A = this chain, B = another copy of it.
Amino acid sequence: MTTVSLSPNGDFLTLDLSGQPCRFHAIWLRDNAQDSETRAPGNGQRLLALRDIPAETKLVAAEIAESKLQVSFAPEDKTVEFDLSWLAANAYDKAAPMEKGWLSEGVEPWDSGLMSDVPVGDFQDLAKGGPALRDWLGKVTRYGFGKIENGPTEDGALFDVVDLFGYVRETNYGRHFEVRTEVNPTNLAFTGLGLQAHTDNPYRDPVPTVQVLYCLESSAAGGENMVVDGFAAALRLRAENEAYFNVLAKYCARFEYAGDAETCLQSRRPMIELAPDGELIGVRFNNRSLGAVNDVPFEEMASYYAAYRRLGEIIDDEAMEVTFRLEPGEAFVVDNTRVLHARKAYSGAGTRWLQGCYADKDGLWSKFSALSAQFGG
């Protein structure tokens, strides 16, 4: 049985939710009232600003009936109802803060073990929307990447992928860019190095939060795509050496790109990005566009470089990577704030033509949430 009691001065109430006492402030309850004078019934937008709510707001009555909490406020003389389930879901009277690097619910770090269960969707199914799209988007939000198979092999087909969940982020590289290479067997010796796994465009702020890479032709041997979970790499660094994790999160790196006279992109952001309360929310890793890091104090620079080196070693560890080969009509989508990607070296003769573009992940998460609300899940 749920009970409620008011504090002596009406500043807060205590709700006993499944045996767990949980306090809510008067001002919080008033500001979050769900009635039609406070929130627009259609889109849920708040109709009041905090300036419209008296600073001295107190609770003067509270009672529970039929899974609802009814509360009355003074001096407004206003009574509103809350669903107990809504209060339970939005309770903020919690235990101690979590350790630095905590992950949002629904985000799961992975390593090469995911190779046997790469998140894949069939383009024809996804294009219908509904539960198939919900499931695939759910995997992309959980793992930060997803593969698509069985798509068209037409120039521009990558835009059909973006249409599934969002909008192209146009940049100085255009609405899309070409990754077209004629493989030249006489140059085989030079293809062995490959690119270190990286996130794209860290010199942009905001970075493009999603990248789509779509394969149109692929007759060359090799050229597999490889992805590494930057969150898993950061958490492994933390497990190995917490000071290394902390120094990469505490100081900003600098990234820059000046490809032509028209372009001079620069950013100042950390390699490991935490929300102010410690949630791990982003990874930037790109040796090619790292500028001169000059915001780390002299006393910590050696440690910073050692941490940067070790993070790179973890990223390079094959135990962290998932590889797959894109065939024509196949694509992959990565959360560019989290998952690093690379291309393995080519070998043999043939052609390889991919198209890439950027998009944003707020649209992707929004689509997933909307489909989940509509179809459950």
Residues of A within 8 A of B (CB): 11-12, 23, 25, 27-28, 31-32, 42-51, 55, 90-94, 97, 104, 167-172, 196, 203-207, 209, 249-252, 256-270, 273-277, 279, 287-290, 292-298, 301-302, 305-306, 308-309, 312-313, 316, 360-363, 365-367, 369-370, 373-374
> Which of B204, B261, B265, B293 contacts A28, CB < 8 Å?
B293
B369 touches A261 (CB 8 A): no
In the complex, A303→B308 CA distance in Å? Answer: 38
A92 touches B45 (CB 8 A): no
> Which of B45, B50, B269 contacts A308, CB < 8 Å?
B50
B257 touches A369 (CB 8 A): no
B205 touches A362 (CB 8 A): yes
Q: How many copies of this chain does the complex contain?
A: 2
B206 touches A360 (CB 8 A): yes
Shortest Cβ gap from A256 to chain B (Å): 7
Known contacts A92-B298, A196-B51, A262 near B367 by CB under 8 Å? yes
In the complex, A316→B52 CA distance in Å? Answer: 12
Chain B residues with Cβ below 8 Å from A203 are 362
B28 touches A257 (CB 8 A): no
Shortest Cβ gap from A157 to chain B (Å): 19
Query: What is the chain B residue whose CB lies nearest that of A302?
Result: B25
Query: What is the chain B residue whose CB lies nearest that of A168?
Result: B170
Chain B residues with Cβ below 8 Å from A316 are 51
> Which of B50, B206, B270, B277 contacts A250, CB < 8 Å?
B277
Known contacts A276-B274, A374-B261, A297 near B92 by CB under 8 Å? yes
Query: Mind listing 6 A-B residue pairs with CB under 8 Å?
Result: A27-B302, A43-B260, A46-B289, A92-B293, A250-B277, A265-B365
Shortest Cβ gap from A309 to chain B (Å): 5
New contact pairs (13) apart from A28-B293, A51-B312, CB-CB < 8 Å: A12-B298, A25-B301, A28-B292, A43-B260, A46-B290, A90-B294, A94-B298, A169-B360, A203-B362, A206-B362, A262-B370, A267-B362, A270-B276
In the complex, A90→B292 CA distance in Å? Answer: 7
Known contacts A90-B294, A276-B251, A45 near B171 by CB under 8 Å? no
In the complex, A249→B301 CA distance in Å? Answer: 26
Shortest Cβ gap from A86 to chain B (Å): 8
Chain B residues with Cβ below 8 Å from A258 are 43-44, 370
Known contacts A196-B51, A256-B44, A277 near B264 by CB under 8 Å? no
In the complex, A287→B287 CA distance in Å? Answer: 41
A46 touches B288 (CB 8 A): yes
> Which of B23, B294, B312 contacts A91, CB < 8 Å?
B294
Query: What is the chain B residue whose CB lies nearest that of A308?
Result: B50
In the complex, A276→B91 CA distance in Å? Answer: 28
Shortest Cβ gap from A41 to chain B (Å): 12
In the complex, A355→B329 CA distance in Å? Answer: 38
